[in-house]
Amino acid sequence: MADRFSRDEVLIDSPAASGFVITANDTVNLEQTTRGIYVGVAGDIGIQFSGYFGQSNVNILFTNVPVGILPVRADRVHAANTTATGLIGLY
């Protein structure tokens, strides 16, 4: 099947083109910075943002994240305090 969109410019609001299973880890970054995280089972998610404008290592805990897509650019998903499961990194 041909991809009719393969030559389109990728913009910030473009849909994800690929993904990977996230294994939460407190010290190791994800294999790719995400455009979003798909949440399969609701819960809390601790992330490290990829950072903008010189900010880095900004950590935040999202509580009660529902099933669906959390639109964040994350470099890491922390194992501590993350209770949501079925996480897929989208990029």
- Mean pLDDT, the chain, as a whole number? 91
Residue 46 lies in a domain: yes
Residue 6 lies in a domain: no
Number of domains in the chain: 1
Note whether 78 and 48 are within 8 A (CB): yes
* pLDDT at position 55 over 80: no
Residue 71 lies in a domain: no
Cβ burial 43-56 (10 Å sphere, 16+ → b, else e): bebbbbbbeeeeee
Banded pLDDT at 45 (limits 50, 70, 90): very high
Quote the DSSP letter at residue 19: E
Provide the residue range defining the domain that includes 34: 16-60+84-91
Give the distance from CA 45 to its chain's centroid. 10
Banded pLDDT at 66 (limits 50, 70, 90): very high
Measured over the CA atoms of residue 34, residue 71, residue 62 and residue 53, the dihedral's sign is positive
Residue 42 lies in a domain: yes
CA distances from 10 to 13, 28, 55, 70, 71 (A): 8, 27, 24, 19, 16
Residue 78 lies in a domain: no
